[in-house]
Amino acid sequence: GSLAVLDSGVSVCRACPRLVAWREKVAVEKRASFADQPYWGRPIAGWGSTTPRVLIVGLAPAAHGGNRTGRIFTGDRSGDWLFASLHRVGLAVQPTSEHAGDGQQLIDTRMAAAVRCAPPDNKPTIEERDTCAPWLHAEVALVAPHVRAVVALGSYGWDAALRSFRAAGYAAPRPKPKFGHGARAVLTGPDGREVVLLGSYHPSQQNTFTGRLTEEMLDAVLGEAAALR
Ligand code: SF4
């Protein structure tokens, strides 16, 4: 398999009835608000380098972010925060991510979501999580040989990254490393090579508005990933 084959497969996935209904409902209802733009309303493939040194794992596309623009962390406040930081630490060519044709490019970096369709309230069910997991497993299996650092945004991304790297044959410390902002765990590949898993609070509005996550905190983790690459 290749990333191109994977991307085309995920873009037509309809395996979760509730999420298919939701992503399409939001797309139809909100299309009028963004009438000058196409509204994606489908699953979101991973995006960025095909041989990434840094892999960023988030939860799921936002209803009016990735679900609207077709590109992960694009067109919403979380994306504004994430890309501004990626730009500051040298992993993105522009500080903003507004739409899929904005010229933004990631440097040595790829980003992917644990769940590929926008869920209501940003909360996939356990069944939806498990149904979608093979997409991230497949993506990690393809890119893992290049990856030196994984940045998990939030505990959901942390657990998903651990599961996908385990599925790709990487050993994680026991007991399971605990998520936190600045958490760090070394995963050891089948060939003995090491990948560093880093935790960051998710740049959700809930975290950034309240000051739970500051720009400095996000820059510290993404800067560490940039230095490891
Ligand atoms: Fe398919 Fe994942 Fe979307 Fe479910 S969430 S429909 S498994 S792409």
Q: How far apart are the first and last CA of the chain?
A: 25
Q: Quote the ipTM score.
A: 0.99
Ligand 1 geometric centre to CA of 202 (Å):
21
6 vs 223: CA distance, rounded Å: 29
User: pTM (2 decimals)?
Assistant: 0.95
CATH architecture type of domain 3-228: 3-Layer(aba) Sandwich (3.40)
Q: What is the pLDDT along the chain (229 residues), one digit of tens a residue?
A: 699 999 989 999 999 999 999 888 887 777 666 666 777 888 999 999 999 999 999 999 887 788 889 899 998 899 999 999 999 999 999 999 999 999 999 999 999 999 999 999 889 999 999 999 999 999 999 999 999 999 999 999 999 999 999 999 999 999 999 999 999 999 999 999 999 999 999 999 999 999 999 999 999 999 999 999 9
Atom of ligand 1 nearest to the CA of 10: 8
**Which token pair is 199?**
């935790």
Residue 141: in which H helix or E strand, if any? Answer: helix 126-143
Atom of ligand 1 nearest to the CA of 23: 3
Ligand 1 geometric centre to CA of 229 (Å):
30
Query: What residues are in contact with ligand 1 under a 6 Å CB criterion?
Result: 10, 13-16, 19-20, 43, 115-117, 128, 131-132, 135
